[in-house]
Structure 1
Amino acid sequence: MKRLFLSAALFLSGFSAQADGLQALDAFLREVGSARASFTQVVTSPTRAGEAKPRSKTSSGRFEFLRPDRFRFEYTKPFPQTIVADGQTLWLYDVDLNQVTARRQKDALGSTPAAIIAAAGQIDALKGAFELKSAPEQDGLQWVEATPRAKEGQLRLVRIGLREKELAVLDIEDGLGQRSVLRFSQWQANPGLKAGDFRFEPPAGADVIRP
């Protein structure tokens, strides 16, 4: 579930009610340097033969980021798990397995939603990895569609829904038809986060894997 998010980590903007999605995204990248929020994630798999409906899994937790290259996802339900990008290393800590996976952040992100989160404060920084376009307003949200330019990756499409100065929805679809929808609430823009807040130390006794 979490690997879809990583292999496929948020937008905020100040924009007028008449602004389109790209204007909202541009304002977000320029004006919001950090944020903190709660999230709920629903991952839906394609329907298999003999199944009456698609299978889905729901998880929830807290999220925060600091531009240009730091973020943290703390999954609390149904199972605790932590994903941290500290600017150099992407850490994945599975509490139940007491196992930490560490990858070079630059290599692990690429054309992913997490790369969008870690982008610098200009929309041009994203255009090398994504084809960006505005989508029609829906459910009171401004939308942007981000299609990876690299066709060999697992990610097919990311849809970003924005409301005023909040990221409301991040909708991710992979090449196999699996869909992950993150909905955000309790959003705090520019809460004064520092680089040291994203430091991660593997817990004592945990197995550390470096692929």
Structure 2
Amino acid sequence: MIKKLLTTAAFALTTFAAHADGLKDLEQFLRDVNSAQASFTQVVTSPKRTGETVARSKTSSGRFEFLRPNRFRFEYTKPFEQTIVADGQTLWLYDVDLNQVTARKQQEVLGSTPAALIAAGTDMRALSEVFELQAAPAQDGLEWLEARPRNKDGQLQSVRVGFRQGQLAVLEIADSLGQRSVLTFGQWQDNVALKAERFRFTPPAGADVIRP
């Protein structure tokens, strides 16, 4: 009887561990979610300067959408309006207050960024060539994985991705300067009907367009 109970408990723990795995959640997310839209809140915390007792932080919020492969849109609405659009070829950044647009080749700037974890293709193997991926302990009701870029030359140090019941919930981003950015997603909707035209960006009339 005791042996049977132990065997049952071991099986239950094994089944739970197999399910509770951020890597498996990421693999399922890449495979099953072709598009999504959500609200987000972003808190950016800078390292404390000499003499400071509390780290400085800034909070912003807005809407987020993506469509595989390699298309996404961040629309910041508070405290300042800013739009970031990736159309598959070009990454556009529009600062409303400055009426300024910065355009960069998407392939050159998004290879090992958090956006690549979310909106790239569905190939887990290709993603593993860019990031070192490993499951992290469950915390705060979420299943976590940690991604570290294999190319150590960039500013990105690590990304922690949190899933709640297979749904993307949190991104925690740390850079080499000690800055930490946490994006929390809400009102998440999977596989919504988004078209590629949604991710096309035309600079507003009169805006300064910078192409570094």
Q: Max radius of gyration: which structure?
A: 2
Partner of 2:126: 125
Native 8 Å contact 1:119 1:125 kept in 2: no
Percent identity over paired residues: 72
Distance 2:98 2:48 in 1: 29
Native 8 Å contact 2:82 2:93 kept in 1: yes
Partner of 2:103: 102
Q: Report how far residue 52 of structure 1 moved.
A: 1.0
Cα deviation, 1:107-149, whole Å, max 9, x if unaligned, reads 1112110122232112112111100000000011000100010
Native 8 Å contact 1:156 1:174 kept in 2: yes
Higher helix share: 2
Report matched runs for 1:27-176 at 5 Å: 27-176=28-177
Q: Report how far residue 18 of structure 1 moved.
A: 2.7
TM-score, length of structure 2 as denominator length: 0.90
Distance 1:43 1:88 in 2: 28
Distance 1:131 1:176, change over 3 A: same
Farther off after superposition, 113-122 or 63-72: 113-122
Distance 1:150 1:167 in 2: 25
RMSD of aligned alpha carbons: 1.4
Q: Report how far residue 196 of structure 1 moved.
A: 1.0
Partner of 1:128, secondary structure, is helix
TM-score, length of structure 1 as denominator length: 0.91
Q: Could you list the runs of 4 or more consecutive aligned residues of structure 1 that deviate by over 3 angstroms after TM superposition?
A: none
Partner of 2:197: 196
Partner of 2:73, secondary structure, is strand
Cα deviation, 1:61-88, whole Å, max 9, x if unaligned, reads 0000001110000000000000000011
* Paired residue total: 197
Gapped runs of 5+ residues in structure 2? 1-16
Partner of 1:9: none
